[in-house]
Amino acid sequence: MKVSECVYTPVRTSTAVLHTLPGRYVFFDIETTGLSSKNSTVYLIGVTWPVSYENPDREWNFCQWFADTRESEREVLREFTLCLAGFDTLVHFNGDTFDIPFVRGRLFYHRMSDPFSLITSVDLYRMARPLKKMLPIGSLKLKSLESFLGIHRDDPYTGGELIDVYNQYLKCPTREAEKDLMLHNEEDIKGMPELLPIFAYLDMKKASYRLVGQKRERYSGFDGTEKTEVCLTFESSLALPAAYTQRGEDVTLHVDGNIFTFFFTPYVGALRHFFPNYRDYFYLTMEDKIVHKSIGQFVDKAVRRKARPEECYVEKEGLFLPQKEPLITPVFQKEGKGREWFFLLEEELKWDEETATRFVQGWL
């Protein structure tokens, strides 16, 4: 067995996330010769943990145990289990599904004790699941999340590709093959603490927002018609680690730090504001309009009747922006029972922070 140890400084971590981990925590990852612990082995285990839990954004310890022969797997497992005895929490990426069950299988094979029942497990993969719908990341693979954050990797291999490299290494050990095997695991291990800032995106709906600007721009569409784009800019109480753009059917959102910018193609034309208290109105059959009962009571009963919900509205022409909930009043709709809500775009929007926050949160 070979052991590699060092102290390093992560490029970035998230103390906000780290301080939520119970007790003394350690990150780990394994490399195996296959997917089943019944007929495959663990050939490499890596761990990392902060030198100081009070200042986890500074130096970290790093250690790897490498099985340079098939017979040294037991030694690797023993050193790893001895290491775990000093920690309260084990952090990993998809370890609940693969790494932990695999190591358990190999410990059982070697008739060694199971340390996992004595330690709390935290799976970053499970924590990251909501991000798949929120961010343009493609998949929840570790490399995809790292790429979104701009984390660079020198390792060109996948874990599956390294199985052949390891088998060849056992037949003919070379420094180059050993370096490739160790590097993949090292970047997986060191990448996990640096991945933590991505969980700030889960707090976007908890943040507060302030409207800081609006802009309207005219442009010519592909069909030659003149169109309008409306840009609303908000300042957030939350600063995010990486800029991104998310395009939807109704709106495009661009996030950069604590600046959230929404680009809308507004609805141009006539929409209806439906009165919720339709029982307070009469419909005038000859004039095809509604009037409040305080006025309609003086109209001949022959040309008036009680207003129905679907006809109790006023229509207005203008420039309208969509909203995810009937928040900004008066609320306009295409149909009274529809789930689409709009508001009339004024020359100047005077929103308080609560209105701005609810508007943004509706789109996130």
Phi, psi of 73, deg, nearest 5? -60, -45
Domains of the chain (ranges plus CATH)? Answer: 2-203 (3.30.420.10), 206-275+312-364 (no CATH)
Q: What are phi and psi of 236, to 5 degrees?
A: -105, 155
Q: pLDDT tens per residue, the chain (364 residues)?
A: 999 999 999 988 999 999 999 999 999 999 999 999 999 999 999 999 999 999 999 999 999 999 999 999 999 999 999 999 999 999 999 999 999 999 999 999 999 999 999 999 999 999 999 999 889 898 999 989 999 999 888 888 888 899 999 999 999 999 999 999 999 999 999 999 999 999 999 999 999 999 999 998 887 767 777 778 999 999 999 999 999 999 888 799 999 999 999 999 999 999 999 988 989 998 888 888 888 989 888 888 888 898 888 888 889 999 999 999 999 999 999 987 788 999 999 888 989 999 999 999 999 8
Rounded Cα distance between 3 and 76, Å, is 9
CA distance 351 to 328: 9
Cis peptide before 330 (omega within 30 of 0): yes
Other Cβ atoms within 10 Å of 7 Cβ, number: 9
CA distances from 1 to 49, 118, 121, 270, 356 (A): 22, 26, 27, 76, 59
Task: Tell me the pTM.
Answer: 0.83
Cβ within 8 Å of residue 200, ≥6 positions away: 14, 16, 238, 239, 240, 241
- Token output for 47: 């761990």
CA 125-131-133 angle, 5° bins: 125
Instruction: Kindly give, in sequence order, each residue whose CB lies less than 8 Å from that of residue 2, ignoring residues fewer than 6 positions away.
Output: 65, 66, 68, 178
At 70, give phi and psi (nearest 5°): -65, -30
For Cα atoms 242, 245, 251, give the angle at the middle one, nearest 5 degrees. Answer: 145
